Chains A and B, each alone.
Chain A
Amino acid sequence: MEHTPGDTLQLQLDPDIAAAFQSAAKWARFIAIVCFIFIGFFSVILLLALAMNAGLDTMENVAPGLQFTLLFIFLIPFTLVMIQLYRFANRTKEAIQRQDQEMLNRGLRNLRIYLSVYGVLSIISIVGSIFNLIREF
């Protein structure tokens, strides 16, 4: 069945669903804030290690400067994911408080971006694990 734009489906955001959305938003906000602190902390440690020209034991063959550049590059998608999660949390909470349909849609868009980046990173991680598995044989 095709729904035309603006066509309201039978689904409603009843108080129970709104409460579940708000609770999800509250926890998502907490997770995002903790991750922001972790990212900041990790960045400071990386900068300090870079200043001291220290390297990692696990990456002996790679120059220390390149090691930390790679780690910073790894932090970028992680930070973007957390920004989307934080936006989802704030916008969803605000949408329910203000009964703003547009805000709710924007919050869900942020959740979708969070899940899509997370999904791509998960697939990359699986490919890495498979390579690791092949290397063991």
Chain B
Amino acid sequence: MENSNLNLFQLSVDHETSEELRRCSYWAKIVAMAAFISAVLSIIILFIKPLDESEQMLVIMGTIITVVINVVIHVFLYRFATKTTTAIDNASQHDFSEGIAGLQTYFKILGIIIIIVLSVIVLVIPVFLIALSMGMLA
């Protein structure tokens, strides 16, 4: 059954595909590492930079949430990079499957975060406009 499914697909990983995947993995690893370093730097800057009492809690919460989301997203990109490289080196179908699943999850989480951000913007704009008009009336 599995073999018949495989035969339905004429696509395979030829020399050019494996080279492109290898280069993608290389850059994906750089992007992920840069994101991890950036997360560490954000935390360091947060502790060094003097903040006002009033905005301290908001800035700390905002930075921590951003850093956590950033790290989680890029863990999947890193997984794509490492698993795909291993898959190409060892011709491991299991690692290849996990690597592409990592890429899928990376884009999916990014897309869901964009939907959440857009929803918040859609909700906040009318509230902001109402507050603005009330302020103007007062």
Contact = CB atoms under 8 A, between A and B. Distances in A.
A119 B104 contact: no
A9 B91 contact: yes
A11 B41 contact: no
B9 interface: yes
A118 B45 contact: no
Given A115-B31, A119-B30, A132-B45, A6 B111 contact: no
A69 interface: no
Question: Does more than half of chain A's interface fall in helix, strand or loop, or is it mixed?
Answer: helix
A62 B50 CA distance: 26
Contacts of B20: 105, 108-109, 111-112
A11 to B, nearest CB: 4
A59 interface: no
Contact of B118 (A23, A34, A130): A34
Interface in B1-22: 2, 5-6, 8-18, 20-21
A11 B93 contact: yes
B100 interface: yes
Given A23-B104, A27-B107, A122-B31, A133 B9 contact: no
Nearest to B108: A27
B60 interface: no
B56 interface: no
Band of interface residues on B: 35 or more
Interface residues of A, number: 50
A34 B42 CA distance: 26
Interface in B75-101: 87-88, 91-93, 96-97, 100-101
Interface stretch (B32-40, B61-69, B123-131): B32-40
B34 A15 contact: no
Contacts of B21: 108
Contacts of A3: 15, 18
Interface string A119-132: 10011011001101
Nearest to B16: A105
Contacts of A21: 100, 104
Nearest to B100: A20
A11 B27 contact: no
Contacts of B49: 136
Given A5-B16, A14-B5, A133 B97 contact: no
Interface of A: 3-18, 20-21, 23-24, 27-28, 30-31, 34, 95-96, 99-101, 104-105, 108-109, 111-112, 115-116, 118-119, 122-123, 125-126, 129-130, 132-133, 136-137
3 A-B pairs closest in CB distance: A122-B34, A115-B27, A27-B107
